[in-house]
């Protein structure tokens, strides 16, 4: 009786999904891989400075561009083939490729070598991440448990943003930056070992398709689904506010406020802390409120935060406590937009199509970042903080307006519809041309609506 009561109490907490061995190992694989990636980010900056000196910012800018291009182009191709291979073998292979590339980075002597290795590393990540994300709904098919897993995933990203720089600083106190790449290699190898230690539930085999059909299927399903078009618009809002934080914080803290590196770390911590608070609260909120109002409210919170800060800077001046509070608020909204996105993707695709749809989300969301990253830097450099804050808030607001238009209120999962595109003896109809079931874009339902 006592044991049953304790299990009931334990089950109320978000971390109870870690009781599932398969998910626990996959979550730990995500954490160690993220920590390794975080160490590589710090080491890359130092490597770029060694190779290019004052032109290091140009090198790093090119590296980030290569990263985004790889994400946008490689993810849909990888997603097209993810349901044709053993996912566990696929993920382990990609982890080992990433480990091998990271192991080569300390030995480069030319900038072009960095570019080639980063393209290989990020191409592997572009194939790994959406395939990994698409596997979790098969491991945790219940929506409530999957929602908790999404929140834990968001926490893992925020945890990495805080821990990786701290760990890197400790290692650099006694070792060279090349050692950080060894840590990256170890992270990817640990991820591979954790992935290989569990068995994945196999998704239902899909129809054999041509290369073009497989490559574009995820994006076609994504853009044909109203809630996912709304998600894309909200991705633009998140990328706008996120780019203001990630690109311009260093200029605001070090340049405008004249503060040191520690202040910059605490400023980024404020953004991560806001995101973590939202991730912890969202499972209970989403148990009572649907995704659309939560995500739209999160985007509106980011816009309000940026506009409020712009107003204060315009009429008075920027202060560090104000920046910390604003970034905390933006972090809350940022997590409220991104954390539930996996629920929408899971709901909008059959199991065999999930890798392609998750890959489409990965590519399209990073296409938004490909726009907002340079825009954010240009606005601040050319026009100042008020213009950057206001301009990115306006772009985020346009994303909200588009989301409200694309994503209908209510967003019914089950829709009554009629088939004229199938013969009467087709197994899907079961003798009824007009019927009702959860609508998902597939061969029998090539578009969204009540008639096919």
* Residue with more model confidence, 400 or 3: 400
Q: How many CB atoms lie within 10 A of CB 347?
A: 17
CATH of the domain at 400: 1.20.1250.20
pLDDT of residue 433: 73
Domain match, 240 and 196 both: no
Place of tokens 């404020």: 270
pLDDT of residue 146: 85
Number of domain units in the chain = 2
Separation CA 444–CA 47 (nearest Å): 53
pLDDT, mean of residues 280-304? 93
Domain match, 26 and 112 both: yes
Give the dihedral of Cα atoms 207, 210, 214, 216; nearest 10 deg: -130
Kindly state whether residue 424 falls inside one of the protein's structural domains: no
Kindly state whether residue 361 falls inside one of the protein's structural domains: yes
Domain match, 74 and 125 both: yes
pLDDT in tens, 403-445: 999 998 887 777 777 777 777 777 777 766 777 777 888 777 7
Tokens found for residue 222: 């994504």
Return all residues near 440 (Cβ < 8 A) that are at least 6 apart: 348, 349, 350
pLDDT grade for 248, boundaries at 50, 70 and 90: confident
Separation CA 24–CA 26 (nearest Å): 5
* Residue with more model confidence, 452 or 108: 108
Domain match, 98 and 164 both: yes
Kindly state whether residue 442 falls inside one of the protein's structural domains: no
pLDDT of residue 60: 67
Kindly state whether residue 312 falls inside one of the protein's structural domains: yes
pLDDT of residue 209: 59
Nearest-5° angle of CA 192, CA 196, CA 202?
125
Kindly state whether residue 446 falls inside one of the protein's structural domains: no
Percent of the chain's residues with pLDDT above 70: 87
User: In terms of residue numbers, what domain contains 374?
Assistant: 225-408
pLDDT of residue 255: 81
- pTM comes to 0.81
Domain match, 161 and 295 both: no
Domain stops at, among 408, 425, 447: 408
CA atoms within 13 A on the CB side of 265: 13
pLDDT of residue 10: 38
pLDDT of residue 7: 43
pLDDT in tens, 38-83: 788 778 767 877 887 767 656 766 777 788 888 888 878 777 666 6
Domain match, 70 and 192 both: yes
Domain match, 252 and 400 both: yes
Return all residues near 406 (Cβ < 8 A) that are at least 6 apart: 226, 229, 230, 232, 233
pLDDT in tens, 162-216: 677 667 767 777 778 888 889 899 999 999 999 999 887 765 555 565 555 666 7
Separation CA 163–CA 151 (nearest Å): 18
pLDDT of residue 208: 60
Domain match, 174 and 265 both: no
pLDDT in tens, 364-412: 998 998 888 888 888 888 899 999 999 999 999 999 999 999 998 887 7
Domain match, 37 and 174 both: yes
Kindly state whether residue 452 falls inside one of the protein's structural domains: no
DSSP track, 102-166: HHHGGG--SHHHHHHHHHHHHHHHHHHHHHHHHHHHHH--SHHHHHHHHHHHHHHHHHHHHHHHH
Domain match, 310 and 171 both: no
Kindly state whether residue 441 falls inside one of the protein's structural domains: no
| Contact criterion met (CB below 8 Å) for 424 and 207 | no
The answer, yes or no, to whether residue 335 has pLDDT greater than 90, is yes
Tokens found for residue 368: 């938004």
Domain match, 276 and 374 both: yes
Separation CA 340–CA 363 (nearest Å): 18
Phi/psi region, residue 419 (left: phi>0; alpha: psi -120 to 50; beta: rest), is beta
pLDDT in tens, 10-49: 344 567 788 889 989 998 998 898 888 878 877 876 787 7
pLDDT in tens, 131-155: 888 888 888 888 788 888 888 887 7
Domain match, 140 and 232 both: no
The mean pLDDT of the chain is: 83
Kindly state whether residue 92 falls inside one of the protein's structural domains: yes
Query: For residue 13, with 0-12 CB atoms within 10 Å meaning exposed, 13-18 middle and 19 or more buried, which class applies?
Result: exposed
Q: How many CB atoms lie within 10 A of CB 60?
A: 18
């Amino acid at each position: 009786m006592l044991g049953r009561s304790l299990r009931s109490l334990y089950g109320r907490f978000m971390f109870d999904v870690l009781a599932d061995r398969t998910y626990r190992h996959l979550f730990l694989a995500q954490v160690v891989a993220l920590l390794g990636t975080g160490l590589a980010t710090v080491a890359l900056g130092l490597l770029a400075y060694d190779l290019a000196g004052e032109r290091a910012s140009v090198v790093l800018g090119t590296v980030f561009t290569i990263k985004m291009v790889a994400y946008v182009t490689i993810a849909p191709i990888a997603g097209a083939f993810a349901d044709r291979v053993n996912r566990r073998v696929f993920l382990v292979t990609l982890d080992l490729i990433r480990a091998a590339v990271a192991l080569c980075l300390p030995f480069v002597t030319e900038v072009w070598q960095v570019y080639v290795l980063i393209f290989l590393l990020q191409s592997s990540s572009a194939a790994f991440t959406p395939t990994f994300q698409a596997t979790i709904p098969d491991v945790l098919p219940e929506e409530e448990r999957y929602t908790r897993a999404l929140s834990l995933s968001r926490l893992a990203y925020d945890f990495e943003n805080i821990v990786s720089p701290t760990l890197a600083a400790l290692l650099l106190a006694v070792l060279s930056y090349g050692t950080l790449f060894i840590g990256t290699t170890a992270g990817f190898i640990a991820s591979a070992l954790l992935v290989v230690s569990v068995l994945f539930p196999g998704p239902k085999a899909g129809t054999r398709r041509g290369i073009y059909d497989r490559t574009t299927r995820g994006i076609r399903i994504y853009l044909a689904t109203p809630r996912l078009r709304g998600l894309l618009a909200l991705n633009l809002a998140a990328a706008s506010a996120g780019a203001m934080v990630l690109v311009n914080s260093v200029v605001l803290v070090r340049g405008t406020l004249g503060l040191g590196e520690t202040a910059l770390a605490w400023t980024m911590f404020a953004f991560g802390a806001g995101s973590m608070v939202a991730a912890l609260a969202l499972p209970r909120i989403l148990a009572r409120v649907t995704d659309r109002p939560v995500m739209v409210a999160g985007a509106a919170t980011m816009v309000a935060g940026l506009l409020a800060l712009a107003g204060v800077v315009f009429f008075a001046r920027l202060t560090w406590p104000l920046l910390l509070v604003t970034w905390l608020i933006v972090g809350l909204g940022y997590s409220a937009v991104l954390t539930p996105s996996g629920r929408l993707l899971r709901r909008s695709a059959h199991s065999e199509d999930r890798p392609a749809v998750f890959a489409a989300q990965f590519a399209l969301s990073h296409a938004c970042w490909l726009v907002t990253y340079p825009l954010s830097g240009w606005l601040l450099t050319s026009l100042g903080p008020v213009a950057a804050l206001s301009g990115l808030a306006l772009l985020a607001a346009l994303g909200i307006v588009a989301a409200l238009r694309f994503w209908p209120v209510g967003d019914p999962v089950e829709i009554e519809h009629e088939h004229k595109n199938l013969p009467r003896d087709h197994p899907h109809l079961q003798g009824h041309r007009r019927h009702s079931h959860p609508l998902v874009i597939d061969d029998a339902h090539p578009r969204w609506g009540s008639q096919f």
